[in-house]
Amino acid sequence: MEQRINRVHQALAAWKQMEENNVNLFPPSVMASTEFAKFRLKRLDEVAAKLSLTATPDERDSLKILAIERKALLRTAYPKGKGFQRFFTYLTRPLRFAFVQHIELRKQDQRLADIQTQMQKAGFGAYVAQVFKKIRDGENTFSIPTNVVTKQNDQVHFNLKFSFDQQLGHRFDSYQAVYRNQLNPGEVRQHTFQIGDDGLTHVKRAENLISGRAMLDTVTENGKVVQRWTKLDNIQDERGNYLTKYVSVKNFDTNEHCRKLPFWKELNLYDQLRIVGSLISGQRAAVNIERQGKPLSIYIEADPEQSRVKLNDEKGKPIDLKKLYANQKPESVSTLHYQTRQNNSLAPQSSTKAETVRAQYHKVNQASVPQKKRVSKTEKTDATKAASRLTGSKKQAPKNNAVKARKTKSRLSH
């Protein structure tokens, strides 16, 4: 349990500090006047009314002592001769308490609603009830530990931190992420994510960052929307938080590096989109393939700083793809097609079933087409001579007709 602060003591200490600051500014007659006593009485009533709603046992004892001081202050504010005003103030005190408490309850409800909204936006909505119980019990500064999230060999849990301000009440200040590696128990990382007006970090994002993975962000720089990879550096600041490192998106193309994986063509489109989406959001994507008749689980992580894609097995050990595919190619339709084209380009002498079927198909097609008769050289020569005689007789026919015409003309002239 966190150490509790007595809010009554805190309020009275603040009031005493205010009086000490005003002693040197105003004459003693002002500080000893009945009007100042009435002003002090009003402030003490407000403190008692506000804190009585959620007072702890220690604070209730302080409020009882404060009530004794209030009676003495009431006589100072309303001396003899003003007994009626003192009695009227005593009678109307419950009404003033109720009014102050009504306003305080509305403020408290609004603060609790703000805390609930912030926790839900950050992904800690399941712990709202525990926080409200702490506040109702009167705890001011406290923390709420979350459940441990275990993924593969990574363990991550969070500590939600809350504080109390006299004017603003309870606030959700920050949460601390703690990372532990099961394979290396000495590897422990801690980082505090602040809850500010400029936005908050979701628990999923914090989990990926504290685990050492990078994620793709869209930000605005110099009025332009750009994308960049965000990752926590290994360098820590004076508060123990890791500095943020940014890598240009030009140095690492997720789709291009994924397409270079030898098993990428074995996956369907849905799995490919799922893996790419997981990598750009900083998550670790799992892929199940079959190698040599045995199932194999591969975990993929984006490493834009080194411009590569990291592959690990279930135990977190790196996978060497060259050794994995040294003796056997991936068994997939696309890879088999690639092997067939590669074998055809090398023109092997072995006949496959596909080639036998293809040969039979061409043989049947050739049998269905009528074959031309082969002509010997002697027959070709005789055919050429016959054609030349026929052509020559056709060319001499016009000459013979001309001679006959001239002979006929000469006879007629005689």
One DSSP character per residue, 300-363 reads EEEETTTTEEEEE-TTS-B--HHHHTSS----SHHHHHHHHHHHHHH--SPPPHHHHHHHHHHH
pLDDT at residue 398 greater than cutoff 60: no
Structure tokens at 412: 């007629």
Q: How many CA atoms lie within 13 A of 79 on its CB side?
A: 6
What was the pLDDT predicted at 331?
45
Residues in the chain: 414
The confidence band for 349, taking pLDDT boundaries of 50, 70 and 90, is: very low
What was the pLDDT predicted at 178?
93
Mean pLDDT in the chain? 77
Lay out the sheet containing 215-221: strands in order across: 215-221, 224-236, 242-248
CA dist 233 and 226 (Å) reads 21
Map tokens 């198909």 to a residue. Answer: 361
The confidence band for 388, taking pLDDT boundaries of 50, 70 and 90, is: low
Please state the separation of Cα 283 from the chain's center in Å.
7
Q: Specify which of 254-268, 322-336, 392-406 reaches the highest per-range mean pLDDT.
A: 254-268
Considering the entire predicted model, what is its pTM? 0.63
Q: Between vectors from CA 136 to CA 131 and to CA 140, what angle results, nearest 5°?
A: 70
Higher pLDDT residue, 58 or 346? 58
pLDDT at residue 315 greater than cutoff 60: yes
CA dist 56 and 391 (Å) reads 133
pLDDT at residue 238 greater than cutoff 60: yes
The confidence band for 405, taking pLDDT boundaries of 50, 70 and 90, is: low
Q: 246-291, pLDDT tens digit by residue?
A: 888 887 888 889 998 888 888 889 999 999 999 999 999 998 888 7
Pair type for strands 294-303 and 169-181: unpaired
48 in Cβ contact with 55 (< 8 Å): no
Strand residue runs (E) in 84-166: 142-145, 149-151, 154-165
Of 86, 59, 60, residue with least CA distance to 73: 86
Which amino acid is residue 334, in one-letter code?
A: S
Domain boundaries, the chain: 7-113, 212-348
pLDDT at residue 336 greater than cutoff 80: no
8 in Cβ contact with 47 (< 8 Å): yes
What was the pLDDT predicted at 116?
92
Which amino acid is residue 169, in one-letter code?
A: G
Higher pLDDT residue, 401 or 51? 51
If you ran DSSP here, which 8-state letter would residue 53 be given? Answer: S
- Dihedral angle of Cα 384, 387, 392, 394, to the nearest 10 degrees: -170
233 in Cβ contact with 244 (< 8 Å): yes
Q: What is the arithmetic mean of pLDDT over 12-34?
A: 83
What was the pLDDT predicted at 363?
47
What was the pLDDT predicted at 280?
92
CB pairs under 8 A, 24+ apart, for 236-240?
239/192, 240/190, 240/192
Q: What is the arithmetic mean of pLDDT over 20-26?
A: 81
